[in-house]
Every structure is written in C-alpha cells, then in structure tokens.
C-alpha cells in the first residue's frame, strides 16, 4: 500500500472555481494540490462575461493585466441585438454590459476595473499557469473517486487515468470545485434545492467571418427569433461572439423530454445556417455538445473539512453571465479563511462564515439567471412569436409590426418595452456589485449598530456603495505621492487592512498591536495617502478619526464612525469575533 501524498488543501477541479481557489491559496503561501479529470483545461469557450467584481479579484491576485490583454474589451460587448437572423431583420437592441452612457459612468465610479469578455478556454490557462507558477501542484488526468474525513483531515482517493491505478491524497481541507455534476458535493451530502434538466440546450462552436453582420453593432450576444427558437434552451436562439468577428458559439434549444438530437456536423451546420441567415458565408463547425438548463443551489456549502464552490453548489443557465464570476468569487471568499485557519491565526469556526455568506448569493444568482430566461418571452410575445405556428405565419406576425395601423403601433411599443426590460439580464450592475454579507448570519462581520438603510434604487440594476459591515469596500481614486490608486488597491493580498484618517492614530496603534497581520492606511492631507478629489470623504461614511477594518477579500468587517480612545479594545474584540475566537 503506497503512502498518501500530503498537502494542506486538495482542490478537485481546474475550472474557474478550482483554478482561482488554487491561485489564491498559492498566492497566500498555502501548499495545495489541484487534480483535474481531463488531460487539458476547458477546450470550448463556455463562460465568458467577466464582471467588475471578478476583475477586482483578479487584480488582487495579480492576473488582471493578462486577462485584459487576452479578453474582448467592454466597448465591443454591448449592443445586444434581437433579430430574425444575423443577415435578417433586426427587431431591436439593448445597450448592455455597461455600454449605456449612464451605466458606463456608474461602472467607472464603482470600480477601478472594467468588464470584459474572457472566454473560459482563455481564462482557465491564465489562472492555472499563475497558480502553478506560485506553487500549486497540478495533476491532469486525475479523477477524484471518494473521500473520508476525521478530526485532523481528509483522505481522498483519486485515480490516475493514465496509469489506471488509484492513490490517496491526505489534506487538511478539501475543496470540491468539480462542476455541475459534483461528486464531492454528493459524497459530502450537501443538500441541494431546485431542479436539474429544466430545458435542453446545444452549444455549437464555429468559425465564420461575420464582420458584415456584426461589426456595425458590436456585441457579445445576438438573439435570434426563428421557427423553433423558443423550444427549450435559454429563451431564444443565440449567436455569441467568441472572438470578433470570426469565432462564434451558437446556443440552440431542444425539447428536453425528447432527448438531445444527434449532433452530426450536418445538423450543427443547419442550425448555424438558420441563425446566420446567409448561406454564402463559409462556415466551419468546430464542435457541438448538449447540456441542460438547471435551477439548483445548495443550502450548505460545507461538511466538516470539505468545502464546495462554483457549479458544484449553484447550477443555472448562462443568463446574466454569472457562472464563472460567482465561482471565482466563492473561491476568493474561502481561500483567505483557509489560510488564516491553517496558519493558526483563526479558529476553524471562521470557516462557518463561508456557507453563511456565499449560499444566499448562490440562491440569488440561480433565481436571477432563470428569471432572465423567462423575461425573454415578452419580446417574442410582442410579435405573437410564442404560439405554435407555421414559419410563414411567424414571419407574417413579425412583418405586421411595420403596418401603419393602431394595432401595429401597439405591437411596436410592446416590443420596445420588452427589449428595454432585458436590462435585468444585460446591464444588472447591482447584481454584479451589491453583494452584502449580513452580520446576523456571518460571524466574520461585526455589526456596528446602525440600521440597514436598504437601497435607494433597484438593487439589481444599480450599484450602491456602502462601508456598512458586510459590504465590499467602495472604490475611490486616492493618491500616494505621484501614484493614483484605488482604495481597493490598498486592501487584499491575503491580509486585513485598517483604513482611517487624521485623528485615527489610536486605530493605527491598535492594528499594529494585533497578532493578525493588519496593514494600515491613513488617508488625509500630508499622510501616506491623500484624497485630492474628496471622493473617499464622500463615500467613507465615517469621520476622519473613524476606522474601517477590511477583510482580505475586500469586504468591510468592522466599522467605527469616529476616533475612539479605547480603539485597542474595540479592534481586539472585533477580531476575536471575526477570527472565530469567541
Ligand atoms: P467547471 O465545470 O468549469 O469545472 C469543473 C472542473 O472539475 C473541471 O476541471 C473538471 O475536469 C473537474 N472535474 C469534474 N469531476 C471531477 C472528478 N471527479 N475528478 C477530478 N476533476 C473533476 N456559462 C456561461 O456563463 N456561458 C456559457 O455559454 C456557458 N456554456 C457552457 C457550456 C458547457 C459545455 C458547460 C459545461 C458549461 C457552460 N457554462 C457556461 C457554465 C460555466 O462554464 C460554469 O458556470 C463554470 O465553468 C463553473 O465553474 P466551476 O469551476 O464551478 O466548474
């Protein structure tokens, strides 16, 4: 019997969740092994929309520039177009992904980063290469089979698929980032709510120069209403840009009760022809695969020393582009907690906050993504496009909107309203950035006694910055000498940060006296950091002598509105709660 390989954290899966967990752990100096079932990383584009919060995480992990260099930039993402085919009639557009001028301003005010389109087959190598360069030991063709756990650790049995034999990996903690059919989550007995297989979908990856149909209305997504487009799938036929304007991915539905169609090249080409609408364009189909729309989320993300992240615990359609974003953010939430528990700074109770903070977000995004599919129906209802009918009738219904009649005017208005309502899928800035971790459920957040003011505007559409404990630290441009940086650039890197201002000396002394590593940031005239625009003063919600303690993941853990002579005690009490020592 061979001896088990040992590590601190075993990560199962090298998708967005596993790769970012490994990257964060290695960045923090935590020994880890990542195993993955296949011989390569993702070989198809899959998830792609990368939101500002994820870009902030990648910025902290030191790979933002590489992602920007490889991604399609925000300005080419945002004319979500509804049409009868790419070459056919256009039904309308919605400005998307921060490209509406007002939303663009909101994006610039909210974060130092920009959204981008980073297909998963390009994203995974960036994350994995950086993780390996920083110490992750990666094993391809290694399949997780089972695990047992005891008081000190987890023993996982894995199979080397090249040699065919099995061996054991002994870790202090196990992260199951093994995707939508997670065996780790099943073995850990994580209770799942919802339903798998709600609808059937096919992805077809193809190459074609579609510049003449797309470059004048640059977008990531072109939605197609054609006969059969509303059967199964994600609300309509979809032509998604992978690389402008030559690489594409079509999503097309099928009746899940009838099973997936035979995915021959002829079948795939027929769908491509239907959605492109110009048979003269040369097309090369690269691959096609069937998948199902799911509406499932786990109520609990952990069992003992086993933690699950990503699709393992939330399964939903690609609407709103939340899949890989939420997976990266789960991993980022978990990694610093594991680091502090493993190095003895925190009690293992800190890890309870992982489920408390992330499970409500998982439920929210699964619900949002599925609601977005249903909200596409009114676009087609406006064209009488949902009832069963012959293709000729459908085209006649669509053409009727051009008539000079009262009925046609009403139809046009309904169509405009239905398309405009799709901002909840394509411009939901609040969904991306308003995540809050309530102190009532998470011990890693210290309540400051202030009532929750709620949101002034629709929290799904509009980001609202706050320094209330449980909110992400607001972004403001500040300076340090000749350098301009974001307040978010002062936090992260696996350690806590205390932000204060002139009059906050007692907080700085208190931070320096703690055992846990706490960086200190003093913002004010003549200090290391200055606030020349006054942005931070407007956003901080504390007086100059007050303090914010920000966790390694950029969330405010503790806030005190003013200078405090007993700062040492207040901060020590707060840290005891956050680190699970009480
Ligand atoms: P992910 O599924 O990416 O990774 C799981 C990892 O676990 C893989 O590395 C796998 O090899 C490994 N693994 C699984 N079982 C294992 C075992 N027993 N042992 C070892 N390793 C194991 N989203 C979107 O927003 N837009 C889109 O168009 C698409 N399209 C799409 C197409 C297809 C075909 C799929 C499968 C998924 C999508 N998605 C998508 C969803 C998106 O890809 C998904 O939300 C994220 O990849 C989730 O990231 P995870 O890391 O959680 O799982």
Q: How far is it, in rounded angstroms, from Cα 437 to Cα 1?
A: 46
Average pLDDT over residues 123-148: 98
> How many CA atoms within 13 Å lie on the side-chain side of 148?
2
Q: Are 468 and 452 in contact (CB under 8 A)?
A: yes
Q: Is the CB of 17 under 6 A from ligand 1?
A: yes
- pLDDT at site 2: 65
Give the pLDDT band of residue 228 (cuts 50, 70, 90).
Answer: confident
| Same domain, residue pair 14 and 33 | yes
- Ligand 1 atom closest to the Cα of residue 184 is 18
Q: How far is it, in rounded angstroms, from Cα 222 to Cα 527?
A: 50
- Residue 170 CA to ligand 1 center (angstroms) comes to 25
Dihedral angle sign, alpha carbons of residues 195, 198, 204, 205 = negative
Q: Is residue 537 part of a domain?
A: yes
Average pLDDT over residues 232-242: 88
Give the pLDDT band of residue 294 (cuts 50, 70, 90).
Answer: confident
Characterize 71-83 residue by residue with b for buried, 16 or more Cβ atoms within 10 angstroms of its Cβ, and e for exposed. bbebebbbbbbbb
Q: Is residue 437 part of a domain?
A: no
Q: Is 207 helix (H, G, I), strand (E, B) or coil?
A: strand
Q: Is the CB of 317 under 6 A from ligand 1?
A: no
Average pLDDT over residues 536-565: 98
Q: Is residue 62 part of a domain?
A: yes
Q: How far is it, in rounded angstroms, from Cα 467 to Cα 548?
A: 8
Tokens 């930039």 label which residue? 73
Any idea what DSSP says for residue 30?
-
| Same domain, residue pair 357 and 492 | no
- pLDDT at site 246: 98
- pLDDT at site 489: 98
Q: Is the CB of 362 under 6 A from ligand 1?
A: no
Provide the CATH number for the domain around residue 564.
3.40.30.120
Say whether pLDDT at 241 is over 70: yes
Q: Are 326 and 314 in contact (CB under 8 A)?
A: yes
Tokens 């003992």 label which residue? 304
Best mutation site among 120, 200, 291 for ligand 1, i.e. most ligand atoms within 8 A of its Cβ? 120
Is beta strand 483-486 parallel, antiparallel or unpaired with respect to 477-480? antiparallel
Neighbours of 480 (CB within 10 A): 15
Give the pLDDT band of residue 231 (cuts 50, 70, 90).
Answer: confident
Say whether pLDDT at 388 is over 70: no
Best mutation site among 39, 286, 323 for ligand 1, i.e. most ligand atoms within 8 A of its Cβ? 323
Average pLDDT over residues 68-82: 96
| Same domain, residue pair 147 and 56 | yes
Q: Give the pLDDT confidence of 469-489 residue by residue, as tens digits.
A: 999 999 999 999 999 999 999
Indicate the residue among 352, 371, 390 that finishes a domain: 371
Q: Give the pLDDT confidence of 485-533 residue by residue, as tens digits.
A: 999 999 999 999 999 999 999 999 999 999 999 999 999 999 999 999 9
Give the pLDDT band of residue 391 (cuts 50, 70, 90).
Answer: confident
Query: Which residues span the domain enclosing 470?
Result: 465-578
Angle at which helices 16-27 and 323-342 cross, to 10°: 30
Q: Is the CB of 579 under 6 A from ligand 1?
A: no
Nearest CA to ligand 1 atom 6: 13
| Same domain, residue pair 341 and 397 | no
Average pLDDT over residues 301-310: 98
| Same domain, residue pair 312 and 415 | no
- Nearest of 269, 320, 333 to residue 423 by alpha carbon: 320
Give the pLDDT band of residue 384 (cuts 50, 70, 90).
Answer: confident
**For the ranges 385-394, 415-424, 540-549, which has the lowest average pLDDT?**
385-394
Q: Is residue 345 part of a domain?
A: yes
Q: Is the CB of 177 under 6 A from ligand 1?
A: yes
- Nearest of 540, 549, 448, 543 to residue 497 by alpha carbon: 549
Q: Is the CB of 37 under 6 A from ligand 1?
A: yes
| Same domain, residue pair 365 and 346 | yes
| Same domain, residue pair 384 and 493 | no
Residues 6+ apart with CB under 8 A from 458: 430
Say whether pLDDT at 386 is over 80: no
Q: Is residue 20 part of a domain?
A: yes
The two counts, helices (H) then strands (E), for the chain are 18, 25
Indicate the residue among 339, 356, 371 that finishes a domain: 371
Q: Is residue 153 part of a domain?
A: yes
Average pLDDT over residues 8-33: 98
End-to-end CA distance of the chain: 42
pLDDT cut 90: percent of the chain above it: 91
Say whether pLDDT at 580 is over 70: yes
Is beta strand 166-176 parallel, antiparallel or unpaired with respect to 306-308? parallel
Say whether pLDDT at 194 is over 90: no
Best mutation site among 131, 205, 295, 318 for ligand 1, i.e. most ligand atoms within 8 A of its Cβ? 318
- pLDDT at site 314: 97
Q: Is the CB of 183 under 6 A from ligand 1?
A: yes
- Residue 47 CA to ligand 1 center (angstroms) comes to 9
Q: Are 548 and 498 in contact (CB under 8 A)?
A: yes
Q: Which residues pair with 518 in a beta bridge?
A: 496
Q: How far is it, in rounded angstroms, from Cα 368 to Cα 322?
A: 9
| Same domain, residue pair 189 and 123 | yes
Number of compact structural domains in the chain: 3
Give the pLDDT band of residue 385 (cuts 50, 70, 90).
Answer: confident
Instruction: Name the strands in the sheet holding 284-298, side by side, starting at the edge strand that comes first in the sequence.
Output: 90-95, 79-83, 221-224, 237-243, 247-254, 192-207, 284-298, 314-315
- pLDDT at site 4: 87
Q: Which residues pair with 326 in a beta bridge?
A: none
Tokens 């920007």 label which residue? 68
Q: How far is it, in rounded angstroms, from Cα 332 to Cα 339?
A: 11
Question: Which two tokens mark 488?
Answer: 């978010």
User: What's the pTM value of the predicted model, to 2 decimals?
Assistant: 0.97
Indicate the residue among 311, 345, 371 that finishes a domain: 371
**For the ranges 147-151, 318-322, 348-352, which has the lowest average pLDDT?**
318-322
Provide the CATH number for the domain around residue 124.
3.50.50.60
- pLDDT at site 134: 98
| Same domain, residue pair 518 and 548 | yes
Say whether pLDDT at 1 is over 60: no
- Nearest of 500, 485, 514, 478 to residue 550 by alpha carbon: 500
Say whether pLDDT at 275 is over 60: yes
| Same domain, residue pair 314 and 352 | yes
| Same domain, residue pair 474 and 411 | no
Residues 6+ apart with CB under 8 A from 102: none
Q: How far is it, in rounded angstroms, from Cα 127 to Cα 62?
A: 10
Q: How far is it, in rounded angstroms, from Cα 411 to Cα 401?
A: 6
Q: Is residue 113 part of a domain?
A: no
Q: Is residue 170 part of a domain?
A: yes
- Residue 336, exposed/middle/buried by CB under 10 A (0-12, 13-18, 19+)? buried
- Nearest of 365, 421, 409, 404 to residue 80 by alpha carbon: 421
Question: Which two tokens mark 487?
Answer: 């307040």
Nearest CA to ligand 1 atom 2: 179
Give the pLDDT band of residue 249 (cuts 50, 70, 90).
Answer: very high
pLDDT cut 70: percent of the chain above it: 99
Q: How far is it, in rounded angstroms, from Cα 545 to Cα 500?
A: 6
Q: Give the pLDDT confidence of 428-477 residue by residue, as tens digits.
A: 999 999 999 999 999 999 999 999 999 999 999 999 999 999 999 999 99
| Same domain, residue pair 345 and 383 | no
């Amino acid at each position: 019997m061979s001896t088990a390989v040992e590590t601190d954290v075993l990560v199962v899966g090298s998708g967005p969740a596993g790769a970012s967990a490994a990257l964060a752990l290695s960045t923090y100096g935590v020994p880890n092994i990542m195993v993955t079932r296949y011989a390569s990383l993702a070989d198809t584009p899959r998830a792609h929309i990368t939101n500002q919060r994820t870009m902030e995480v990648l910025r902290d992990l030191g790979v933002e520039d590489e992602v920007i260099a490889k991604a399609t930039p925000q300005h080419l993402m945002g004319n979500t177009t509804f049409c009868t085919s790419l070459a056919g009639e256009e039904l309308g557009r919605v400005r998307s992904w921060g490209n509406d001028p007002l939303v663009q301003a909101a994006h610039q005010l909210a974060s130092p980063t920009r959204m981008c389109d980073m297909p998963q087959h390009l994203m995974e190598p960036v994350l994995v290469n950086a993780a390996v360069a920083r110490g992750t030991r990666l094993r391809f063709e290694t399949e997780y089979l089972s695990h047992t756990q005891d008081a000190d650790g987890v023993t996982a049995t894995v199979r080397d698929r090249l040699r065919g034999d099995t061996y054991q990996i002994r870790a202090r903690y196990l992260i199951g980032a093994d995707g939508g059919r997670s065996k780790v989550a099943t073995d850990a007995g994580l209770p799942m709510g919802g339903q798998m297989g709600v609808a059937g979908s096919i992805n077809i990856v193809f190459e074609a120069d579609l510049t003449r149909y797309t470059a004048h209305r640059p977008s990531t997504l072109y939605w197609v209403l054609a006969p059969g487009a509303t059967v199964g799938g994600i609300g309509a036929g979809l032509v998604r840009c992978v690389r402008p304007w030559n690489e594409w991915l079509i999503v097309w539905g099928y009746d899940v009760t009838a099973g997936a169609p035979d995915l021959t090249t002829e079948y795939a080409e027929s769908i491509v022809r239907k959605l492109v609408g110009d048979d003269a364009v040369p097309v090369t189909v690269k691959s096609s695969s069937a998948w199902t729309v799911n509406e499932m989320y786990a109520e609990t993300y952990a069992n003992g020393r086993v933690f699950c992240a990503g699709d393992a615990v939330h399964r939903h359609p690609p609407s709103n582009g939340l899949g890989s974003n939420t997976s990266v953010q789960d991993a980022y939430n978990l990694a610093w907690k594991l680091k502090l528990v493993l190095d003895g700074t925190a009690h293992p109770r800190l890890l309870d906050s992982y489920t408390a903070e992330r499970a409500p977000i998982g439920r929210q995004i699964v619900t949002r993504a599925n609601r977005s599919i249903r909200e596409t129906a009114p676009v087609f209802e406006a064209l009488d496009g949902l009832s069963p009918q012959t293709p000729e009738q459908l085209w006649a219904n669509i053409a009727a909107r051009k008539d000079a009649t009262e009925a046609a005017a009403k139809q046009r208005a309904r169509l405009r309203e239905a398309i405009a309502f799709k901002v909840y899928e394509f411009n939901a800035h609040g969904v991306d950035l308003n995540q809050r971790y309530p102190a009532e459920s998470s011990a890693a957040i210290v309540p400051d006694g202030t009532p929750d003011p709620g949101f002034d505007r629709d929290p799904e559409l509009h980001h609202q910055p706050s320094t209330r404990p449980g909110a992400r630290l607001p972004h403001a441009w500040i300076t340090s000498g000749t350098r301009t940086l974001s307040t978010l650039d002062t936090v992260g890197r696996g350690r806590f940060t205390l932000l204060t201002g002139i009059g906050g000396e007692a907080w700085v002394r208190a931070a320096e006296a703690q055992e846990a590593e706490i960086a200190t940031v003093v913002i004010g005239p003549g200090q290391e950091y200055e606030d020349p625009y006054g942005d931070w003063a407007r956003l901080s919600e504390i007086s100059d002598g007050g303090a914010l303690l920000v966790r390694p993941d950029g969330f405010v853990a503790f806030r005190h509105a003013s200078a405090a002579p007993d700062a040492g005690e207040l901060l020590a009490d707060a840290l005891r709660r956050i680190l699970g020592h009480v």
